[in-house]
């Protein structure tokens, strides 16, 4: 009888699990977890070619590589000029257009990392290996975008802006611009700051303000960028020198603090290994003890930042417990992909509840926390990691102001809530927040 009861308990669990797996596989039959609920813009074809690119049908026939070059000298001469300067064209056996795009003009394709990996197997293998470290990583960037709930509900212009950088996962020309594909170009900081710039990740601002960046700005134009990323070849490190040492196409395997977006234990055994690797790298120019002190300073900065973030989260959690957030989740339009939001609407506070990934559809005070976490917090982290002391001070001061503003807004919400209760006023807005041009347009056009 005992085993029979266990069987009856596990049977519905197993059926539910299989049904869930089947639903996910059905949902991801296109591009992303919610691909059945939206349509891509035509521009997406250039950012995620494996899923979205459709070849032009204006010309029929199959052509040899030399024929492609002859035709495109007149149609797209800039592309041909870049290709002629590349190592592809200068190899003993030139790599023609057909090797990357195919030769059937009605069945052409844009090159993906898998196609590049046909020749560059080592680099491709290292790039794919990033996925085992989880997000954030280049290898998972596109998957992260396409599987996000808000991807379906955001205006297409916003989604297009996101994919320009997230496309680093789906094509190699984010770093090696087509059709030159020059490694020297990819070694320069500008290749990285095309995406690594702006409030969430001010790598450009923090690097160029550091001593490393100042020397690069003054002298970098005269360096020989054809040299590999080896000790002694460059006066100061660039993004690639530190994060892709010796040209390794694996960027996240030394990440101790996971991009600065989450609180972790920096002294785990795996992070000790990573610390030693950083010290070894920095010792190309600095003393080992100096390098360890810089890592310790980074740890201190992270602890200070997360104390402030947890203080803000605590304020929001207390407001939620007292039903003082306005408008509450029950009055906001749920994500079209989130059936649980319809049944049990709930404000998600902090990183682990998922609130930190909500760019909109939140109350003003929750948005204030998001900007504190995603903008000012990450500015302090990047400044500390890259050696920009001035930005670190400014960003921590901004976090202090954020926290005080959140506390002040919380007091106002509580005061208004108490006054409404005393006067018997129900200030709830009903369905007001669920309708409007923004929400209706996205429902109809995605």
Tell me the whole-structure pTM to 2 decimals: 0.87
Nearest to 109 by CA among 39, 45, 13, 200: 45
Q: Is residue 245 domain-resident?
A: yes
Spatial distance between the Cα atoms of 395 and 381, rounded to a whole number of angstroms: 9
Is pLDDT at 5 greater than 60 in this prediction? no
pLDDT band at residue 342 under the 50/70/90 scheme:
confident
pLDDT band at residue 14 under the 50/70/90 scheme:
confident
User: Any idea which residue has 């990323």 for tokens?
Assistant: 229
> Is there a contact between 195 and 168 (Cβ–Cβ < 8 Å)?
yes
Nearest to 150 by CA among 1, 268, 32: 32
Q: Pick the more confident residue, 299 or 424.
A: 299
Spatial distance between the Cα atoms of 86 and 160, rounded to a whole number of angstroms: 30
Spatial distance between the Cα atoms of 10 and 166, rounded to a whole number of angstroms: 40
Asked if 311 and 428 sit in the same domain, the reply is yes
pLDDT recorded at residue 285: 94
Count how many Cα atoms sit within 13 Å of the Cα of residue 381 in the half-sphere of its side chain: 23
Asked if 221 and 353 sit in the same domain, the reply is no
Q: Is residue 84 domain-resident?
A: no
Helix (H, G, I), strand (E, B) or coil at 176: coil
Asked if 441 and 300 sit in the same domain, the reply is yes
Asked if 421 and 363 sit in the same domain, the reply is yes
Asked if 379 and 308 sit in the same domain, the reply is yes
Q: Is residue 236 domain-resident?
A: yes
Q: Pick the more confident residue, 137 or 360.
A: 137
> Is there a contact between 233 and 206 (Cβ–Cβ < 8 Å)?
no
Structure tokens at 274: 């990573």
Q: Which residue stretches of 109-233 are H helix?
A: 113-117, 121-129, 141-146, 149-153, 156-166, 183-187, 189-193, 203-209, 211-219
pLDDT recorded at residue 23: 66
Q: Is residue 33 domain-resident?
A: no
pLDDT recorded at residue 357: 65
Asked if 215 and 319 sit in the same domain, the reply is no
* Domains contained in the chain, number: 2
Q: Is residue 153 domain-resident?
A: no
Asked if 304 and 441 sit in the same domain, the reply is yes
> Is there a contact between 47 and 167 (Cβ–Cβ < 8 Å)?
yes
Beta bridge partners of 62: 104
Spatial distance between the Cα atoms of 130 and 253, rounded to a whole number of angstroms: 7
pLDDT recorded at residue 429: 61
Spatial distance between the Cα atoms of 225 and 281, rounded to a whole number of angstroms: 19
> Is there a contact between 373 and 354 (Cβ–Cβ < 8 Å)?
no
DSSP string, 318-386: HHHHTT--SS-GGGSPPPTT-HHHHHS-----STTTTGGG--SSS-HHHHHHHHIIIIIHHHHHHHHHH
Give the domain range for residue 220: 201-249
Asked if 378 and 318 sit in the same domain, the reply is yes
Crossing angle (nearest 10°) for helices 288-321 and 269-282: 140
Residue that terminates a domain, selected from 192, 215, 249 = 249
Q: Which of 160-174, 218-232, 264-278, 420-434 shows the lowest per-residue confidence on average (mean pLDDT)?
A: 420-434
Asked if 304 and 244 sit in the same domain, the reply is no
Spatial distance between the Cα atoms of 34 and 187, rounded to a whole number of angstroms: 36
pLDDT recorded at residue 260: 85
Q: What is the pLDDT of residues 84-135, one digit of tens each?
A: 999 999 999 999 999 999 999 999 999 999 999 999 999 999 999 999 988 8
Asked if 301 and 430 sit in the same domain, the reply is yes
Q: With pLDDT > 70 as the criterion, what percentage of the chain qualifies?
A: 93
> Is there a contact between 288 and 279 (Cβ–Cβ < 8 Å)?
yes
Q: What is the pLDDT of residues 366-423, one digit of tens each?
A: 999 999 999 999 999 999 999 999 999 999 999 999 999 999 999 999 999 999 888 8
Nearest to 143 by CA among 216, 218, 67, 48: 48
Mean local confidence (pLDDT), 48-75: 92
Q: Is residue 36 domain-resident?
A: no
Is pLDDT at 304 greater than 90 in this prediction? yes
Structure tokens at 74: 């007149």
Asked if 385 and 302 sit in the same domain, the reply is yes
Asked if 362 and 416 sit in the same domain, the reply is yes
pLDDT band at residue 263 under the 50/70/90 scheme:
confident
> Exposure string (b/e) for 209-241, b if CB count within 10 Å is 16 or more?
bbebbeebeeebeebebeeebeeeebebbbbbb
Q: Is residue 115 domain-resident?
A: no
Spatial distance between the Cα atoms of 158 and 163, rounded to a whole number of angstroms: 9
Q: Is residue 167 domain-resident?
A: no
Is pLDDT at 165 greater than 80 in this prediction? yes
């Amino acid at each position: 009888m005992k085993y029979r009861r266990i069987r009856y308990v596990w049977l519905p669990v197993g059926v539910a699990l299989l049904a869930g797996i089947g639903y996910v596989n059905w949902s991801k039959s296109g591009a992303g977890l919610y691909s059945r609920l939206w349509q891509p813009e035509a521009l997406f074809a250039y950012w995620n070619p494996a899923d979205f690119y459709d070849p032009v049908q204006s010309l029929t026939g199959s052509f040899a590589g030399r024929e492609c070059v002859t035709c495109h000298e007149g149609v797209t001469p800039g592309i041909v000029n870049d290709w002629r300067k590349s190592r592809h064209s200068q190899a003993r056996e030139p790599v023609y257009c057909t090797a990357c795009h195919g030769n059937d003009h009605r069945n052409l394709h844009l090159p993906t990392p898998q196609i590049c990996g046909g020749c560059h197997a080592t680099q491709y293998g290292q790039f794919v290996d990033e996925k085992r470290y989880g997000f954030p990583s280049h290898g998972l960037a596109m998957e992260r975008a396409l599987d996000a709930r808000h991807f379906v509900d955001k205006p297409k212009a916003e989604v297009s802006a996101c994919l320009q950088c997230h496309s680093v996962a789906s094509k190699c020309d984010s770093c090696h611009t087509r059709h030159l594909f020059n490694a020297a170009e990819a070694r320069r900081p500008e290749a990285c700051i095309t995406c690594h710039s702006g409030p969430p990740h001010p790598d450009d601002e923090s690097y160029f303000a550091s001593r490393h960046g100042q020397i690069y700005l003054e002298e970098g134009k005269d360096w020989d960028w054809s040299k590999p990323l080896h000790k002694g070849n460059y006066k100061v490190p660039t993004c690639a020198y530190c994060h892709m040492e010796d040209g390794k196409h694996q960027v996240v395997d030394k990440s101790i603090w996971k991009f600065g977006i989450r609180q972790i234990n920096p002294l785990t055994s795996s992070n000790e290994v990573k610390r030693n690797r950083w010290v070894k790298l920095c010792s190309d120019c600095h003393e080992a003890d100096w390098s360890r002190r810089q890592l310790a300073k980074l740890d201190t900065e992270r602890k200070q930042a997360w104390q402030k973030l947890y203080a803000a989260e605590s304020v929001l959690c207390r407001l939620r417990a007292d039903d003082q957030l306005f408008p509450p989740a029950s009055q906001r339009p749920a994500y079209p992909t989130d059936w649980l939001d319809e049944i049990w609407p709930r404000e998600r506070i902090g990183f682990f509840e998922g609130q930190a990934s909500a760019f909109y559809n939140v109350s003003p005070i929750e948005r204030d926390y998001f900007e504190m976490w995603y903008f000012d917090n990450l500015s302090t982290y990047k400044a500390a990691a890259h050696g920009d002391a001035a930005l670190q001070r400014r960003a921590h001061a901004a976090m202090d102001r954020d926290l005080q503003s959140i506390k002040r807004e919380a007091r106002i919400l509580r005061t208004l809530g108490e006054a409404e209760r005393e006067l018997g006023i129900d200030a709830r807005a009903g369905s007001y927040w669920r309708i409007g041009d923004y929400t209706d347009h996205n429902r109809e056009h995605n």
